[in-house]
Structure 1
Amino acid sequence: MTHNKTLASLAVFVQSGQLDPVALIDDTLTRIQSHADQSIFVGLTRGRAEREARAASERIRAGRSLGLLDGLPVAWKDLFDTAGSVTTAGSVVLKDSGPASADAAVVAALGSAGMVSVGRTNMSEFAFSGLGINPHYGTPRNPAATDQHRIPGGSSSGSAAAVAAGLVPLAIGTDTGGSVRIPAAMTGIVGYKATRGRYAMKGVFPLAQSLDSLGPLCHTVQDAVWADAAMHSLTAPVIRRAELADLSVVIPETIVFDEAETEVVAAFEAGIKRLEAAGARVRRQAFPSFAEIFDLIARHGALVNAEAYALHRERLGGPDAARMDPRVVVRTRLGEKITVSDYIAILDARDRLIHQTVESLKPGELIAHPTVPHVAPPVDPLLADDDLFFKTNARTLRNTSIGNFLDFCGVSIPCGKGAAGMPVGFLLSAPHHQDDRLLSAALALEALIRGEA
């Protein structure tokens, strides 16, 4: 019933009375529990979902619908507090923590729009990997893969897999270095990373607070627009579809195509040709600020490592460290070497590079490049070789992490297939707090990017 259905298409049936929310949620939970991959979800909230579905059903029958999203299912990355459930952040060390006493702010916001929370999705431990591998709860299979077990991308691995497998039409993830956009690209769905601070972060387990942002994973940009409105408590979307003739795109010639797979570049460039043929303006330029970010990391360390170490310092010094994914421990401990002067230097340079990058754009331009330079690789070689794991993780995070450092907002849209028939993502980004303009453009460009126009 929910299989590969968009929020928009399900809303038609629910709001018209052709599909009762109770039946929809029962079908959703049944499909999740009977699905071949039981590592996508780490916990279901059946009692809550059934109560919320009954309430939605009663409202809609009485002619008091809360709006477009009333009665539709949503899943939450296991970083979001849902009242009565334990937020484990993909780690066994938090498994014995008490249940959350209240919903995270965005959980409450979607609840106020009538959405039904069905459960918590798997993720990289403490959100600290772009691959989606989790040794504690299992690694979700990439639903787009037909040949072998391939990574779903991370850290919002279960959220992406749940949508791509047709189990839910919407899942909410977090994005500190690409953790919404990467799994969206690798599984062939849409992932929107909002500007940091667009949504309230209360009740969301952090990774690096100066980089953390949130966003929906779904099937279409329109669904992302609907979710975005509800997540910051609007009763309806206010974003209009842009005019193609008004849109300009710049393609970076720095960093983002380095070591990119030939098929990924071909799929991206085919999308660009479709945009140009439809009348969008496209140009290319170097972005020295992109290269400087990685030079800065080489000199002073990564901002995410510094803040993650500060968060987990006591945990790493005690017995819990032995219960964590060793790869997460290694990456987190890199922050121990970052001094206060290093941290301040990073923040100072970040502010300068944000301004430098924005000033290098022409008015109204969007930035476009492949979301990830490669398609989803097989899981087994990554598990067998730590050096390969770390190298692949760094390359996977590279393109998207630029956007986090520069405080961009971004949306990844499928643009074709690469090696082994795996999905390729086309990333559109805009400077911070230009989310409405980005989503407006993405609405106009989505069909062209996908090759459906």
Structure 2
Amino acid sequence: MSKSFGAMSVAQLSVLIQGGAADPVGVAEAVFESIVNHADKAVFTTLLESRAMEEARAASKRLREGRSLGLLDGIPIAWKDLFDIEGLATTAGSVVLAKDMLAKRDAAVVGLLRQAGMVAVGRTNMSEFAFSGLGINPHYGTPVNPRGTDLPRIPGGSSSGAGVAVAAGLVPVAMGTDTGGSVRIPAAFNGIVGYKATHGRYAMAGVYPLAKSLDSLGPLCRNVRDAVWIDAAMRGLTAPAVIVRPLQGLELLVPENVVFDGAEPGVVAAFEAALDRLHKAGAQVSRAVIPAFDEIFDLMTSYGPLVTAEAFALHHERLAGPDADRMDHRVVMRTRLGAKTTLADYLRILEARGRLIADVERLVGDRLIAFPTVAHVAPPIGPLEQDDELFFATNNKTLRNTALGNFLDWCGVSIPCGTGVSGMPVGLLLSATARRDEALLGTALAAEPVIRGDFA
């Protein structure tokens, strides 16, 4: 093969498997060989070789007997280390959960993709408790962005290992979670596609939470088509129902406030070039201030971030005990800020959130929203590990654009649109208001080659 199985798209690999040119057992063996031989040992926290080979043999038998489960049968997938896997403790990137009770069953979505025939090859590394957009983990190591050629750069988080596993060609798809950008950020930094679904689109049973009001799921993969296929299976469908939507007449709204503040020139240039290509392909582009963006940050200043309040409620007992000394001190510091948000403050945030979601839905209508996924490319790891002040400032800036979508309950897909400084990837984020996932994905299918331009 000119390309390793893990470096293929789901669709490319599916053609080989369904056509008999590749066998799921051979695919799984090759994927594990690639992972074991890969220099970066921080990408995966656990390999599931015994389970994977059992699942691959079952897929191989089905295919030989003409009983394929569909497009995803025999396709390898990696799972972020906060999805329950039967028989294992769910560590969520932390050592304090390593001796917790073993999961009695797979998380709901893990089970659904197993029913679709997918082969679970391992768990990927992540920011501890999913509470950082940078992907740095002092316990299990920090996966290095494979796109960096000058010096080690961050992978983005919190789905750090998932992004690197796909970008490095180890697996065709990895599953992440997204509370403030944790799928879309590593997708943008690593030059791959990341789809965050509307909150509540998938079953959340067996997924370790960060902030239940904001948590959502989504795949990191090579192209939008792959995301469409995975999305269907995660909802128990036997085939995708998403229809390609033409770019001619597509209405795009580009916000004029917040999302370009402090953006690197290379990021802006790559985004604007992609936008120009979309316009030439038939999209109608308008620009406007979205007042809710500024109001969201005013709310955070007054009452604290919603994610921090809910994270503190989840972890407050742990933070008051000896476990706090075994956690990443930056995660502890950030989570403890949630203590400042009173119950009255929390209720005010929720009330304001409902109003702002309604306001923005009226403003946006059926349009899609477009802006850079992150205002900068992946920065070097070293300075962020050594300087807490720089860490927090960079984390806030990294999460800023994507977190708006979580607060407003948008769905979104990050697509590579070019490169910025040091040749690092830039992502263009297409978003839609809540529950318009089919419209978003259908448009993204048509828009992806235009957005990518020459980006491979």
Secondary structure at 1:250 match in 2: strand
* Aligned pairs for 1:228-247 within 5 A: 228-247=231-250
SS of residue paired to 1:117: strand
Hey, what does 2:222 align to over in structure 1? Answer: 219
Counterparts of 1:246 and 1:113, CA distance in 2: 36
Which shows bigger deviation, 239-248 or 261-270? 239-248
**Among 105, 109, 114, which residue is 1:111 paired with?**
114
Correspondent of 2:397 among 395, 398, 405? 395
Alignment equivalent of 2:438, drawn from 431, 436, 439: 436
Aligned match of 1:365: 367
CA distance in 1, matches of 2:88, 2:33: 20
Give the AA of the match of 1:142: N
Instruction: Give CA deviations for 1:384-405 in whole Å, capped at 9, x if unaligned.
Output: 1100000000000000000000
Give, in whole Å, the separation in 1 of the partners of 2:269 and 2:249: 25
- Counterpart of 1:190 in structure 2 is 193
Is 2:351 aligned against 1:374? Answer: no
Letter in 2 for 1:378: P
* Matching residue's letter, 1:403: G
**SS of corresponding position for 1:133:** coil
Aligned partners of 2:418 and 2:454 also within 8 Å: no
For each residue in 1:346-398, what CA deviation from the matched residue of structure 2 results, as whole angstroms up to 9, or x when unmatched? 0000000001111111x420000000000000000001110000000000000
* Counterparts of 1:346 and 1:219, CA distance in 2: 36
What residue in structure 1 maps to residue 310 of structure 2?
307
1:110-163 per-position Cα deviation (integer Å, ceiling 9, x unaligned): 000000000100000000000000000000000111111100000000000000
1:410 aligns with 2:417: no
The residue type paired with residue 225 of structure 1 is V
Q: Name the CA distance, whole Å, in 1 between partners of 2:186 and 2:378.
A: 9
Separation in 2, partners of 1:189, 1:181: 9
Match of 1:68 in 2: 71
Equivalent position of 1:87 in the other structure: 90
Secondary structure of residue in 2 paired with 1:93: coil
1:242·1:444 contact (CA, 8 Å) conserved in 2? yes
Cα distance in structure 2, aligned partners of 1:89 and 1:209: 15
Give the superposition deviation at 1:452.
4.9
Q: How many pairs align? A: 452
- Superposition pairs for residues 8-407 of structure 1, below 5 Å? 8-361=11-364, 363-407=365-409
TM-score by length of structure 2 reads: 0.98
SS in 2 for 1:67: coil
Provide the C-alpha distance between the structure 2 equivalents of 1:394 and 1:166, rounded to a whole number of angstroms: 29
Q: Distance in 2 between matches of 1:98 and 1:9?
A: 39
Cα RMSD after superposing both structures: 0.8
Q: Deviations over 1:218-258 (max 9, x none)?
A: 00000000000001110000101101113110100010000
Q: What is the rounded CA distance, in whole Å, between the counterparts of 2:45 and 2:355 in structure 1?
A: 41
Distance in structure 2 (CA, Å) of the matches to 1:171 and 1:210:
23
Rounded to whole Å, the distance in 1 between the matches of 2:86 and 2:213 is 26
Stretches (4+) displaced over 4 A: none
Alpha carbons 1:247, 1:364 under 8 Å: kept? no
Separation in 2, partners of 1:33, 1:116: 17
Provide structure 1 residue ranges, at least 5 long, that are not aligned to the other structure: none
Shift of 1:334: 0.4
CA contact (8 A) 2:125 2:140 kept: yes
Q: 1:2: Cα distance to partner?
A: 1.6
Correspondence for 2:425: 423
Instruction: Say whether the 8 Å CA contact 2:154–2:381 is kept in structure 1.
Output: yes
**DSSP 3-state at the match of 1:92:** coil
Deviation at 1:79, TM superposition (A): 0.6
- Using the alignment, how far apart are the partners of 1:29 and 1:56 within structure 2? 17
SS in 2 for 1:215: strand
One-letter amino acid matched to 2:390: L
Distance 1:4 1:221 in 2: 15
Q: How much identity, in percent, do the aligned residues show?
A: 63
Partners of 2:272 and 2:306 in 1: CA distance: 32
Give the CA deviation at 1:85. Answer: 1.7
Residue 419 of structure 1, CA deviation? 0.3
Distance (Å, rounded) in 2 between the aligned partners of 1:46 and 1:4: 19
Please give the alpha-carbon distance, in whole angstroms, between the structure 2 residues aligned to 1:318 and 1:281: 55
In the aligned structure 2, how far is the partner of 1:3 from the partner of 1:85? 24
TM-score scaled by length of structure 1 = 0.99
Partner Cα distance (2:20, 2:218) in 1: 29
Partner SS for 1:132: coil
Cα distance in 2 for residues equivalent to 1:254 and 1:360: 15
Please state whether the residue corresponding to 1:30 is helix, strand or coil: helix
The answer on whether the counterparts of 1:156 and 1:183 sit within 8 Å (CA) in structure 2 is yes
